[in-house]
Amino acid sequence: MEYYHLSHIIHENAKRFGEEEVLKVRDESSGLWHSVVWNDFSKKVISVAEALSHTGVKPHSNVGVYSQNRVECLYVDFGAFANRAVVVPMYATASIPQIIYMINETEIRTLFVGEQWQYDNAWQVLKKNRYLKQLVIFDKNVKKAADDKTSIYFDAFCSPKNRSSQDIAAVQRRLKDARDEDLAHIIYTSGTTRGSKGVMLTHANYKAVMKMHDLRLNYLPQRYLSLSFLPMAHIFEKAWIIYCLHRGCRVAIGADPKEILTYMKEVHPQAMCSVPRLWEKIHAGVNEKIDSSGRWLKKIFLDAIQTGKKYNLEYRNENKKAPTLLKLKFHFYNKTVFKMLKKAIGIERGLIFPTAGAILSDKINIFLQSVNIPLIYGYGLTETTATVSCFPDNGFTIGTVGKVMPEMEVRIGENNEILVKAASVMKGYYKKAEATLRAFTEDGFFRTGDAGYLTDKMEIVLTERLKDLYKTSNGKYIAPQQLESRLMNDRYIESAVVIGDQRKYVSALIIPAFEEVKNYAEIHQIPYKTMEDLCSNPKINELFTQRVNAMQNEFASYEQIKRFTLLSEPFTIQSGELTNTLKMRRAFIVEKYKNEIDKMYE
């Protein structure tokens, strides 16, 4: 298979697929999905490229995109690539200080914005910023400020009136001059432990990713439909969409991550990359359904899951021939119970569901494999253009994050740190030479900051995030993510933060799954008026004490949570506890909830 520079990939595939569908775009007001064909995709990209040239964008210029997922984000990406320009994606939830930081560092002159909220923030920045000169607005329903004389709506920006013959010639010339070493994106890290850094990813990085995924996922057909709902500012979604387009596949674009369950039922995706939290919620919902079923139906569900586990993990995954009776039993359940389950979710056509970005518990992984949901668990970073390792189609090991990708070197360094070398590893951090130097070993391996080890099958087992390790006042090291992942398997727990650094024992802040707790209170006739009432109720606290204790049996005594506090408000991006990639900002949480934490150590 040929690996095209990103500036050419859409146009080359348009020659192959022409009037076939490539994108599905949802009209949020009507709920209807509309098609975009390859030829129209190619034409729109060229019109955006020429309009960018008309605004003064040149090779190596930086262009910003501050929007939720929209089809226009893809038009801008590939339009910028046609000019050999660089795209700086920003999360739709990014605050004014965050976008100021990125605009100032990358000297962005043109910023594409999505809806009213992003426009309002960006307009406040533009009025005072020495770099930003123009906003291009995707959503035609956005109301511009009364004193805004420079912003332009996307449709007008793409108009033939907004480009000249010189722009047409410039784009064609730049397309011919495109180089693999050109930057494609500057993607900013979430900055959970330090200030955010701009990761420089080249077209060569993306080419390497395409090739290694082709080698690993060579069973994927063309034209399958992938549903996009993770932010396109996230490298996981960004790289996956590019890979899908490289394969000649279709992409359905979901604008609102909170509506993912609706989108799944509407488009019935064959592929979809996601974070473990989605599957955790699906697992909790299925378990609730099983628990509320009658005795015989419950027995059938449980037998189906056990049959699927034995067939898929003990035989199919190990390339062993299953006993005839087991095979027949599995196929019966696959066409009945599993099909019904997957159809209810909207994934009955599923071929591959890549999952990464956080820890997925073995319990949930085993469940999903057992009910024949084709989950591909993996591990990667922005700096490695996403994937470092992932499950192969078979022969994977539960408890690992998959096998090291083809054409990638991984070794274990000091403090068990995972070190990576590959053509997909970033060029460096933008305008941060010292940070770039620190990020690599003397012989060119990237320091991931994650600890783990390699199995004899070259599979990676993650043990902890080195920067997140706690050391108690007794000198014991605690890996909080393992405890947190275990807690969040529970149906009554939405999220949790483990506390223990320089403390005499481990404690936790717990966000309950509010609807589940309310249902429990109703069943057990526990009166309450507010969530504060529930979280402070002795009976609710006793429920959580029993469940927390039951989940920690496999941990050493010094690792176990001795006290916890239930919080009545969820962690959000807006309130500061979460990054744009939904990772917890531990230092911020510890400071914000200092009083609640101190009380657990009185």
Domain boundaries defined on the chain:
6-178+217-267, 276-346+352-466, 469-599
**Cα→Cα distances 10→195, 214, 227, Å:** 35, 18, 18
CATH fit for domain 469-599, picks 2.60.40.10, 2.60.40.420, 3.30.300.30, 2.160.10.10: 3.30.300.30
- Alpha-carbon Rg for the chain in angstroms: 25
Domains 276-346+352-466 and 469-599 share a fold: no
Q: What is the pLDDT of residues 395-429, one digit of tens each?
A: 999 999 999 999 999 999 998 999 999 999 999 99
Q: Calculate the alpha carbon distances from 71 to 18, 104, 255, 273, 528 in Å.
A: 18, 26, 9, 17, 45
103-134: per-residue pLDDT in tens? 999 999 999 999 999 999 999 999 999 999 99
Those residues with Cβ within 8 angstroms of residue 559's Cβ, 6 or more apart along the chain or in another chain: 476, 478, 483, 506, 552
Q: Work out the number of other CB atoms within 10 angstroms of the CB of residue 437.
A: 10
* pTM: predicted TM-score of the whole model, two decimal places: 0.86
- Pick out the chain residues at pLDDT < 50: 192-194
Task: Tell me which of 3.40.50.2000, 3.40.50.300, 3.60.15.10, 3.40.50.12780 is the CATH number of domain 276-346+352-466.
Answer: 3.40.50.12780
pLDDT recorded at residue 371: 96
pLDDT score, position 327: 96
The pLDDT of residue 193 is: 41
Q: What is the pLDDT of residue 470?
A: 67
Residue pLDDT, tens place only, 138-153: 999 999 999 999 999 9
C-alpha–C-alpha distance, residues 588 and 398, integer Å? 33
pLDDT of residue 472: 66
pLDDT (tens digit per residue) in 501-547: 778 889 999 999 998 899 999 999 999 999 999 999 999 999 999 99
SS3 for 182? coil
CB of 394 within 8 A of CB of 407?
no
Rounded Cα gap, residues 361 and 410, in angstroms: 23
Q: For strand 428-429 and strand 198-202, is the pairing parallel, antiparallel, or unpaired?
A: antiparallel
The helix/strand/coil state of 232 is coil
Q: Could you report the per-residue pLDDT of 358-385, keeping only the tens digit for each?
A: 888 898 999 999 999 999 999 999 999 9
Q: Find out whether 230 and 27 touch, Cβ atoms under 8 Å.
A: no
Give CATH for domain 6-178+217-267.
3.40.50.12780
Burial letters 270-303, b for 16+ CB under 10 A, else e: bbbbbbbbbbbebbbebeeeeeeeeeeeeebbee
Phi, psi (rounded to 5 degrees) for 552: -110, 10
Q: What is the pLDDT of residue 477?
A: 61
